[in-house]
Amino acid sequence: DGGITQSPKYLFRKEGQNVTLSCEQNLNHDAMYWYRQDPGQGLRLIYYSQIVNDFQKGDIAEGYSVSREKKESFPLTVTSAQKNPTAFYLCASSIRGNGANVLTFGAGSRLTVL
């Protein structure tokens, strides 16, 4: 079945450590996105990528970094510069152009900083 796979599902990190969240899709989608969700809140856009080797900052990119070396993969690194990294992280993908707003989401990765 086509879809988006995020790993790990749960992750614990000590303060000061970087951590990378994996996102892989086999939907042949061009665009990929990372969102962050805090308890009781909506989703906020961190980064998005429209094509390989290109990505753009979203609304809350500070303290995060991404890469897009392959169409299928869009990993997110939460750096030690992110002041409040404990959150639920969601990866999504879509086609380009008309229909780009129909996103397919992964199951999410829950990061807890100890």
List binders of other proteins among 82-101 (CB under 8 A).
88, 90, 92, 94, 96-101
The contact mask relative to other proteins for 40-59 (x = CB under 8 A, - = no) is: xxxxxx--x-x-------x-
Q: Which residues pair with 20 in a beta bridge?
A: 77
75 binds other proteins (CB under 8 A): no
Binding residue for other proteins (CB under 8 A) from 33, 55, 64, 74?
33
22 binds other proteins (CB under 8 A): no
Minimum separation from the CB atom of position 89 to other proteins (A): 10
**Tokens encoding 65:** 């970094």
Minimum separation from the CB atom of position 16 to other proteins (A): 27
Q: Exposed e or buried b for every residue in 26-38, given b needs 16+ CB within 10 A?
A: eeebbbbbbbbee
Q: What does 33-85 look like in DSSP terms, one character per residue?
A: EEEEE-TT--EEEEEEEEETTEEEE-TT-TTEEE--SBTTB--EEE-TT-S--
CB neighbourhood size of 106 (10 A): 21
| CB nearer to other proteins: pick between 11 and 43 | 43
Which residues sit at the interface with other proteins, rule CB under 8 A? 4, 31, 33, 35, 40-45, 48, 50, 58, 88, 90, 92, 94, 96-108, 110
